[in-house]
Amino acid sequence: MRAAYRRWHEVLSTEFFGADHALRSTVLYVDDEIERQLAELYGIETSLAQAVADELNWGDPERPLFTHVQREDAQWVNSGIEGPPPSLPVLALSVLAATRMASSDGMLRSNFYKRWFQVFDEPLSGYRANKLRRAFEDVAEMWEQLDSWLQETGGLFGTSTVSTDDFYWKIGFPISQALVRGSDRQVLTRFFATTRLRPRNRTEVSGRELLRRLRVWTAGRERHLSPRLMEELSKGADTGETLITSLLRRLADDWDGTLHEPEHGHRRRALGLRLMVADRGRRLDWLAEAVETTPETEVCLPGGRTFTLRKEYGDVYGGLESLRPSPQQLAHGVRLEGEALVLEWVPQEVVLLRMHPYLGEWVSTEYFEPGEQHWILAADSAVGEVRSMVNTLGGRTVRETAAPTVGWKLFKGVRAVNGGAFARTLDRGGAHSYVLEPQIRHRAELSGGLRIATEYRVGSGVAGHFLRGGGPDLLLPASESPDGLVEVVLDGCTEKLRADPRIPFPLRLVPLDEGEHEVGTAQSSQVFTLHDGLHDGLPPGTGMLGYDCNGTAQRKLSEVGDSGAAIRGAYAPDSKRLPRTELVRSDVLEAVLIDHRGSARRVKQQSVPAWMVSRLPEEARGSCLEVEVPEGYVWLVYRTAARWSVRALAAVEDIPDPAPSHDDYAWAHAILSAAERSHAPVWLGYVAAAEAIAGKRGAS
């Protein structure tokens, strides 16, 4: 192996797999410019192509073309894979070839091999070209070796982004590395941040969804991505995994949440600012989600004010309240930088908003959730297009109002309930239709639902336990089939439930029994359970909070346990003696309360109160007359159309003997009306006393 090759190996090892790449995704991107820079920087006179060409075995037809390199590789393996593999210059050269692929005819397979022959200054056909082409199988193996070496060393030399796909396979390796140059990586980490990707892509956003969002992010705005990457983005491939989707997914999966800023030591976390429309659309605020490990930090506007951010309820930062979103900020973006954090709002003409579950306000979001309600904040220049778009969406009337900032409008109540109209709106396209695009998923997922129990068994495979009637929504993966249909498997039954996987399927609409269910597609499914209830008695925690009472209730609610001395719900401790209430049928024409001292209190018949007539169904308007019984009254005498009756209001032994005055005629009259209706001795005593009064009156 010659000195130039060894030198290039050293240089490439340092530049792409050095200590500062540890635990970061690394891309072996080498184009003509980088090759020239490296040669100058390290004083190498032989070009990379020449250094590799010098190692090719053209002389011995019995052995492979890359036999020297392969021999070195074998030794490297035997001696314990220390440092990057000796094939590194070959791999770098294959990337250089890929970067030279003409943009006019794209990344065609033949296109790559032409460049591969050219870097070696070989003719494009003939024996040597064929040999170079065949030998590329060995180069692909070298790429696989690099990938496994990076993985086996646990990220010490960087994490691998070596990718390919079924279609390209061999040449996909260098092409994947050629797609993303250093400046692209910096821009891509900004993109990951502004699209609010979680570090390590914890929410497992698919490569296709990343591609979709990246296309949206780059549409109509100069984001300074390299022309090659932009070209790859614009390619039509909408189905299946492609080079770009698998590469984006790999970069996202490895992204640690920091900006790709070698000059800052890759320290700064990056986050997308959100726009919040608060107070029913009357106020605009900036909103920043809090970084778990940074509860408090400072950021400032370039050359301007400093803001202290503190983590608050709902995992957001407080402290940006005084930074009011202005038309200028909306038009040109906002960048807040600190030692530990960079917050950025990338300008856009149309902003999609969804209700934040914790904050209860409308907050900008990355993708549309069909079925859920959204608001759209649109710059005046985009209002016409947005209006016609939401009209195509159909359904409920969308309300268009002034936004809380000049030059913008708010569209409230945007949702897709009609699958057909939704699909038509998306297919119709238009400059801003992307905001209505839902997430592209690569497997079936469940979302929403009313969960009634927590699943504590790790790895149980159960996605959740839900209340029957509050079952979750099924989010289908993007269709791979030519007809665009997704076959849904529910408890073993396969059905083409829906034509458009972009719309979540509400499982609560399917009558399902209590118990376990499995739903999804043939490739991926989710298990969940449905229950009407889980408790025979009261669930734990019921009645935990209440108002302790001691004469009066406490003003503040507290934990009261099972204490009977607290107000819990409509339970109140018996602190007040209520007047006794007696009920008689409402066909009672008159009623009189009688005490033992000669007092008779007439109870008025009442009509049905107006509130009952207006609010209760007719049969529930109460068929009783409620008689409040003041202290001391012991008998209730009442009359229906047919007869008089008497009812004792106390236990017989508690009814005192009658002691009326001689002129309590009303008392006597009431008793005598029902004299015959009871034969209880104590009642007969009252009848006798009444007769005495009546007799006396008769005598006088």
Partner 1 sequence: MTDPGDLLLRWVSERGAGALSDVKQGMWWLASTYCPDIEPGAAGRWLRDAVSLGHMDIDWRNRRWSAAPPVLTRLPHARGLAVLAGSRTAAFDDRLDQAVKDGLVELFRVPSARPSRDIPLPVSLIVQFDDEAGLAQWATELGAEYTSCFALQGAALLPPLGLEVRTSAPEFGQPLEQYNLDRREYQPAGRPQGDGLYRLKQREGKRVCQVLRNGEWYETSHEEGVYSVLESRNPEADVLRWLPEKDCGRERFGTLYVDWGYPLPDLHRRVAVMCSGLAPRINAHAENLAYDNVPKAVAIRIADSLGQHLGENDE
Residues 611-670 that bind partner 1 (CB under 8 A): 611-612, 615-617, 619-626, 628
Report CA torsion sign: 323, 325, 331, 337: positive
Cα–Cα dist 474/160, whole Å: 34
Cα–Cα dist 559/594, whole Å: 47
Q: Which is nearer to partner 1, 235 or 580 (CB)?
A: 580
Cα–Cα dist 460/451, whole Å: 16
Q: Identify whether the C-beta of residue 244 lies closer than 8 Å to the C-beta of residue 188.
A: no
394 lies in the binding site for partner 1 (CB under 8 A): no
431 lies in the binding site for partner 1 (CB under 8 A): no
Q: Which is nearer to partner 1, 18 or 420 (CB)?
A: 420
With tokens 């940006």, the residue in question is 320
506 lies in the binding site for partner 1 (CB under 8 A): yes
415 lies in the binding site for partner 1 (CB under 8 A): yes
CB atoms within 10 A of CB 497: 17
Burial class from Cβ neighbours inside 10 Å (0-12, 13-18, 19+) for residue 183 reads middle
574 lies in the binding site for partner 1 (CB under 8 A): yes
105 lies in the binding site for partner 1 (CB under 8 A): no
Q: Candidates 43-51, 117-125, 209-217, 314-322: pick the segment binding partner 1 (CB under 8 A).
A: 314-322
With tokens 């029913």, the residue in question is 280
Rounded to the nearest 10 degrees, what angle do helices 3-17 and 88-99 cross at? 70
Applying CB under 8 A, among 14, 554, 599, 645 the residue interacting with partner 1 is 554
Q: Output the CA angle 445-451-455, nearest 5 degrees.
A: 80
Smallest gap from Cβ 576 to partner 1, in A, equals: 4
Smallest gap from Cβ 375 to partner 1, in A, equals: 10
Cα–Cα dist 687/658, whole Å: 9
Judging by DSSP bridges, how do beta strands 493-498 and 486-490 pair with one another? antiparallel
Q: Which is nearer to partner 1, 522 or 572 (CB)?
A: 572
CA 219 to chain centre: 25
Q: Which is nearer to partner 1, 268 or 311 (CB)?
A: 311
346 lies in the binding site for partner 1 (CB under 8 A): no
Smallest gap from Cβ 380 to partner 1, in A, equals: 25
Applying CB under 8 A, among 546, 598, 658, 660 the residue interacting with partner 1 is 546
Smallest gap from Cβ 615 to partner 1, in A, equals: 6
Q: Candidates 62-70, 267-275, 545-553, 672-680: pick the segment binding partner 1 (CB under 8 A).
A: 545-553
- Written as six digits, the tokens of 406 are 């000049």
401 lies in the binding site for partner 1 (CB under 8 A): no
Q: How many residues bind partner 1 (CB under 8 A)?
A: 97
144 lies in the binding site for partner 1 (CB under 8 A): no
Touching partner 1, residues 47-76 (CB under 8 A): none
User: What type of residue sits at position 626?
Assistant: E
Smallest gap from Cβ 537 to partner 1, in A, equals: 7
Q: Candidates 58-66, 338-346, 381-389, 543-551: pick the segment binding partner 1 (CB under 8 A).
A: 543-551
Report CA torsion sign: 668, 671, 674, 675: negative
Q: What is the 3-class SS of 34-62, one letter each residue?
A: HHHHHHHHHCCCCCHHHHHHCCCCCCCCC
Applying CB under 8 A, among 182, 360, 384, 515 the residue interacting with partner 1 is 360
Applying CB under 8 A, among 325, 449, 501, 598 the residue interacting with partner 1 is 449
